[in-house]
A and B are shown apart, each in its own frame.
Chain A
Amino acid sequence: MTAYKWQVRMSGTGGQGIISGAIMLAQAALNDGFNAVQSQVYGPESRGGSTKSEIIIDDEDIFYLKVVCPNVVLLMSPEAYKKYGQDVLPGGMVLLDSSIAKEALPADALIYALPMIEAARTQVGNELVANTLALGALIALSDMISIKSMEEAITERFAAKPKVLDVNLRAFRLGVEMGMAAK
Chain B
Amino acid sequence: MSKVKLIQGNVACALGALAAGADFYAGYPITPSTEIAEFMASRLPKIGGHFIQMEDEIASMGAIIGASAVGHKAFTATSGPGFSLMQELLGYAVITELPLVVVDVMRAGPSTGLPTLPSQSDVQQARWGTHGDHAIIAISPASVTETYFETIRAFNLAEKYRTPVVLLIDEKIGHLRERFDVPDDFVPKIINRKTVVDKKAQYVPYENTADLVPPFVPLGQGVHWHITGLTHDEKGFYSSNPQVVDKSIRRLSAKIEDNKKDICKLETVFTEDADILLVAYGSVSRTAQEALNQLRAEGIKVGLVRLITLWPFADEEIAKLLAGKKAVMVPEMNLGQIFKEVDRVARGVKVFAQSRVDGDLITPAEIVAKVKEVL
B179 lies within 8 A of A36 (CB): yes
Which residues of the partner chain A approach B3 to less than 8 Å between Cβ atoms? 31
Please tell me if B172 contacts chain A, counting CB pairs below 8 Å. yes
A44 to chain B minimum Cβ distance, whole angstroms, is 5
A35 to B64, CA, bound (A): 38
List, in ascending order, chain B residues with CB within 8 A of A42's CB. 116
Q: Chain B residue with minimal CB distance to A33?
A: B4
Q: Does A37 contact B (CB under 8 A)?
A: yes
Alpha-carbon distance between A42 and B31 when the two chains are bound, in angstroms: 11
In the complex, are the beta carbons of B283 and A26 less than 8 A apart? no
Main secondary structure on B side of the interface with A:
mixed
Q: Which A residues are in CB contact (< 8 Å) with B31?
A: 44
**Quick one: closest A residue to B292, CB to CB?**
A63
Query: How far does the Cβ of A53 sit from chain B's closest Cβ, in whole Å?
Result: 10
Number of interface residues of B (CB under 8 A): 25
Chain A interface, number of residues (Cβ within 8 angstroms): 23
Q: How far is the CA of A36 from the CA of B177 in the complex (A)?
A: 8
Contact check, B290 vs A63: say whether CB atoms are below 8 A apart.
yes
Instruction: Tell yes or no: B16 within 8 A of A by CB.
Output: no
By the criterion CB–CB under 8 Å, are B175 and A40 in contact?
yes
Q: Given contacts A31-B4, A44-B116, is CB(A64)–CB(B290) below 8 Å? A: yes
A69 to B172, CA, bound (A): 19
Chain A residue with minimal CB distance to B361? A66
Give the docked Cα–Cα distance between A180 and B212 (Å).
69
Report the nearest A residue to B3, measured CB to CB.
Answer: A31
Q: List 26 interface pairs A-B (beta carbons < 8 Å), by A numbering.
A: A1-B294, A23-B177, A26-B177, A30-B4, A30-B5, A31-B3, A31-B4, A35-B178, A36-B178, A37-B176, A37-B177, A38-B176, A38-B178, A39-B172, A39-B175, A39-B177, A41-B116, A42-B116, A43-B116, A44-B116, A63-B286, A63-B287, A63-B289, A63-B290, A66-B361, A68-B363
| Contacts A26-B178, A64-B290 supplied; 20 other A-B pairs, CB < 8 Å | A26-B6, A26-B177, A30-B5, A30-B179, A31-B4, A35-B179, A36-B6, A36-B179, A37-B176, A38-B176, A39-B172, A39-B175, A43-B116, A44-B31, A62-B178, A63-B286, A63-B289, A64-B286, A64-B361, A68-B365
Q: Closest 4 A-B residue pairs measured CB to CB?
A: A63-B290, A64-B290, A30-B4, A63-B286
Q: Which residues of B contact A (CB under 8 A)?
A: 3-6, 31, 115-117, 172, 175-179, 283, 286-287, 289-290, 293-294, 361, 363-365
